[in-house]
Amino acid sequence: MESVENHDNYLVKKVDVLGRLGLSPHQKITAAMRILAYDAVADSTDEYVKIGECTAIESLKRFCRAMVEVFGDWYLRPPNAKDIERILHIGKQSVFSGMPGSLDCMHWKWKTCPTGWAVQYVGHRGKPTIILEAVVGYELWI
């Protein structure tokens, strides 16, 4: 949170022109993470985080931009040979040898699926879906 706060002044708690304290970084970042994690509608964050829709949307944009700009060079790059070697070495020492991390799959609803393709992509819920697979290493590298 501190890294994101230091990167973008929007996420910092400020005092408005009337001298009242504004929203905390915790509120703004929590709203952004809830929208991302639960595919929540921006105005639904008001009930849980006490933050308005416009502020939630702006917080989401700023949070995502900050995450990419601050952590992108390390976490959002493809692994190189040295990284693979280190990950496999860690994997050999774990209980589940040969498994460099954990794998998760989910069916993501494809809202804009072309009608002609819909039958091919019908998922377990009867609607067109795309299977999203993610592997996360021990260092939380996606």
pLDDT at 95: 63
Residue 16 pLDDT > 90? no
Q: Which of 20-29, 54-63, 92-101, 125-134 has the lowest mean pLDDT?
A: 92-101
What mean pLDDT is predicted for residues 29-56? Answer: 88
Higher pLDDT, 19 or 125: 19
End-to-end CA gap in the chain: 19
Domain membership flag for residue 7: yes
Residues 6+ apart with CB under 8 A from 105: 131, 132, 133, 134
Are 32 and 60 a contacting pair, CB within 8 Å?
yes
Given a contact cutoff of 8 angstroms between Cβ atoms, the answer to whether 32 and 64 are in contact is: yes
Percent pLDDT > 70 in the chain is 89
Mean of the pLDDT values across residues 9-36? Answer: 90
Residues 98, 67, single domain; the answer is no
Number of domains observed in the structure of the chain? 2
If you average pLDDT over every residue of the chain, what do you get? 84
The band of 49, judged by pLDDT with boundaries at 50, 70 and 90, is confident
Residues 69 and 102 in one domain: no
Residue 80 to residue 106: CA distance in whole angstroms? 27
108 with 129, same domain: the answer is yes
Are both 63 and 104 inside the same structural domain?
no
Both 44 and 60 in one domain: the answer is yes
- Of 75, 94, 117, the position where a domain reaches its end is 75
Would you say residue 29 has pLDDT above 70? yes
Which of residues 24, 50, 75 is at a domain's end? 75
The answer as to whether 86 is a domain residue is: yes
Residue 28 has a pLDDT of 93
Residues 33 and 47 in one domain: yes
Do 103 and 124 fall into the same domain? yes
Same domain, 20 and 66: yes
Domain enclosing residue 9, as ranges: 2-75
* pLDDT tens column, 79-125: 888 988 887 787 777 666 656 666 777 788 888 889 888 888 887 77
Domain boundary among 75, 94, 124: 75
Other CB atoms within 10 A of residue 141 CB: 16
- Is 69 in the same domain as 90? no
The pLDDT value given to residue 84: 80
